[in-house]
Amino acid sequence: MGAAEEGGRDGGVGNSIASGTFSGPVVQARDVHVHMPANAPLPVPRQLLPVPHHFTDRIDELAELDDLLTSADDPGAGPPLIVVNGPAGIGKTALVSRWLRTREAAFPDGQLYADLYGHAAEGPADPAEVLGQFLRALGVAAPPAGLAEQASLWRTVTARLRVAVMLDSAFTAAQIRPLLPGGSGALVVVTSRRRLTGLRLDGAAFFRLAALDPAAGLELLTRGVGAERVAGERTAVEQVVELCAGVPLAVCLAAARLAARPRQPIAALADSLAPDADRLAALEVEGEITVSKALDASYAVLDPRAARLYRTLGTLPVPTFDTRTAAAGCAESEQWAERRLDELIEANLVEDIGPDTFRFHDLVRVHARSCAEIHDGEDARTEALRRVADWYLRTTTAAEQLITPAQFTLPRTYAHPSSLPAPFTAEKGALDWLDAHRHHLMALLRTAAGRGWHATAWQLVDAMWPLFLRLRYYDLWAEAHTIGLAAARADGHAEAERQMLNSGAIGLSAAGRVEEAADWYTRSLEAARAAGDVRDEGQAQLGLGSCRMAAGRLEEAVRHLDLAVRVWEECGYRRGVALAGILLGETALRRGDPGTAIPLFEEARRILIEVADPHDATRALAFLGRARAQGGEHALGTDELTEALEAFRASGALHWQARTLEMLGRGAQEQGADSQARGYLAEARSLYEVTSPADARRLE
């Protein structure tokens, strides 16, 4: 890819002319270039295309362009029109130039090139100026003055010619249409940072150029600095290529920087590229366009509202974003955000990667953040970030209320309440949303804690409870509650601190870190007693009973669980009594006493249905089925386990799907149905691989 691709006035062409690559007189004006063969019987352009300084052989992309040309070959239609789009610096000009050079035989009457300055500070090129130069090159000494007359004459002159026209750095479809030649023997290839979807009406085929893969990036850098130098610092070279994010322009600029400093270790450049704030500046090379300058040009022509959204999104710590996130950050409606996102997609500054899912190219994100730091004050940037954090908190709380409606929830506080609706209406959709956005939630949690938004931080952790409970991301569970506990303490919120201790301890215990969990529960018990909170006291006793059961200390487990039942019966917390009953029943099963376990599970399930806790009621049903099978009622037990499995599948509770499948497998083993047992256990193991690798290893 040429280091001067798209952004410079000369586009690298001047070097080609000076080097004598072409013969015959050259017609050149404002980057409209044609080549006239010396012995041509009439003035017909031959070739003058930008020559890139570096080009990595994109064999697949070249083949795809060949396929597009072949598929567009319709004798009854107009000239083939192909639009190659992609972000600044991705290598569009280099790719199309290289491809057209391979197609010379198909267009014997010549090739023309025009830079349309789609992102130049002076504004896009006037199609009339381009047509005037093309017509003069074709022997029209005095082209007409009006655009309509020029376009008509242009179509007439080219009607019987087989020419290829490259229109580089286009800005709008309207800029292209007057430049389309007549007849069907010509080819027009347009490059643009924008999608130019309006050209679909003109029969255009579209090709979006993707980033280089690591191997191609390494090849490109090696061409610039030499194989010997690369071989000596292979790890650092790979790091530089990775930090250039697959953008050929960035790789070329990195190579130019290294070539200018032959004694500098490549690792030094890798270090200078690593901090986000400095990555664009580190790729400045005197006399060459930079990624930053190319992106500056794309940004400069944005509508002010789209520019505002671009800057706002650049400040967010999330890897992707959707329409509601964009709307929340700007305190606008979803419709407003949709229109602005469309503009950013059209400008190739934002990538559309799925249903209502968008992202920045890595280096574009750095540029967007830089623009925000230049154009928006610290207060404005902080407010936008806080609005997004509050929207995530509100949406996560809505998911929590759908998934665990019986769960006690502490009050929420919002600096910037939002009226945007949640993107789900049912339990399964809410859990899917939490799962898909778990990394966003963790990023915002870390950001909130780092900025001292203590209430927002612990409330986010509290709201994420269904994510941890149902899907068992243990590392995230532990990290989130460590952050949440510190935030609750900093916020001076004793009740939130106990909540963090209890729910964090559940995660530690589930992850097999039983002694750590017991320590958290003990601290919670002490805090609950000091505060006179019998409900939290029962929760801590329940947790300690669970830890003792996990450690095989069943007598101690029963003592703690009985204490939990007693304090919860005294305060009327029936759901807690039922949860303790499930654990007491499980303890009885571990003792090999299904007769004691069955009534405990039956009573727990009855209470949980009454208090509208369907998930835990289904857990009680699964254990009840296992107890019946273990007690000899295999058919009834299997039916109850199967019913529980279907309920867990409907709700998306992967961990409890695995637990239930394992119970079914154990029951099948006890019945001698080995093939059926293997099927259940294999499915359970595959689910455990996602939710609990330790359990997956246990089942091996």
- Pair 644, 624: CB distance under 8 Å: no
Angle ∠(412,418,421) on CA atoms, nearest 5? 100
Q: 123, 133, 172: which is closest to 154 by C-alpha?
A: 133
- Evaluate if residue 691 carries a pLDDT over 80: no
Q: Which SS3 state, helix, strand or coil, does residue 349 take?
A: coil
Question: Which distant-in-sequence residues (6+ apart) come within 8 Å of 475 by Cβ?
Answer: none
Mean pLDDT of the chain: 86
CA-to-CA distance for 78 and 81, rounded, in angstroms? 9
- Evaluate if residue 212 carries a pLDDT over 90: no
- pLDDT at 59 (0 to 100): 80
**Per mean pLDDT, which range of 293-297, 333-337, 410-414, 640-644 is the poorest?**
293-297
- pLDDT at 406 (0 to 100): 79
- Evaluate if residue 412 carries a pLDDT over 70: yes
Q: pTM for the whole thing?
A: 0.69
- Evaluate if residue 9 carries a pLDDT over 80: no
- pLDDT at 77 (0 to 100): 55
Axis-axis angle for helices 362-375, 291-300 (nearest 10):
60
- pLDDT at 285 (0 to 100): 65
- How many C-beta atoms surround the C-beta of residue 178 within 10 A? 18
Question: Which distant-in-sequence residues (6+ apart) come within 8 Å of 646 by Cβ?
Answer: none
First to last CA, the chain: 51
Maximum average pLDDT range among 205-214, 354-363, 373-382: 373-382
- pLDDT at 698 (0 to 100): 87
Q: How many helices (H) and strands (E) does the chain have?
A: 33, 9
- Evaluate if residue 284 carries a pLDDT over 90: no
Cα 72 to chain centroid, rounded:
34
Residue 321 forms beta bridges with which residues?
Answer: 358
Question: Which distant-in-sequence residues (6+ apart) come within 8 Å of 648 by Cβ?
Answer: 618, 622, 656, 657, 660
CA-to-CA distance for 681 and 590, rounded, in angstroms? 20
Looking at the chain, the whole-number percentage of residues with pLDDT higher than 90 is 59
- Evaluate if residue 541 carries a pLDDT over 50: yes
- pLDDT at 6 (0 to 100): 32
DSSP letter assigned to residue 321: B
| Confidence bin at 662 (pLDDT 50/70/90) | very high
CA-to-CA distance for 236 and 389, rounded, in angstroms? 36
- pLDDT at 413 (0 to 100): 96
- pLDDT at 237 (0 to 100): 92
| Confidence bin at 132 (pLDDT 50/70/90) | confident
- Backbone torsion region of residue 553, taken as left when φ is above 0, otherwise alpha when ψ lies between -120 and 50, otherwise beta: beta
The arithmetic mean of pLDDT across residues 469-483, rounded, is 90
- Evaluate if residue 243 carries a pLDDT over 70: yes
Q: What pLDDT digit, counting tens, does each position of 41-77 carry? A: 333 443 444 544 445 667 888 999 999 988 865 555 5
User: Tokens 């089925």 map to which residue?
Assistant: 625
**Per mean pLDDT, which range of 46-50, 108-112, 265-269, 423-427 is the poorest?**
46-50
Q: What pLDDT digit, counting tens, does each position of 346-377 carry? A: 887 888 888 899 988 877 898 999 999 999 99
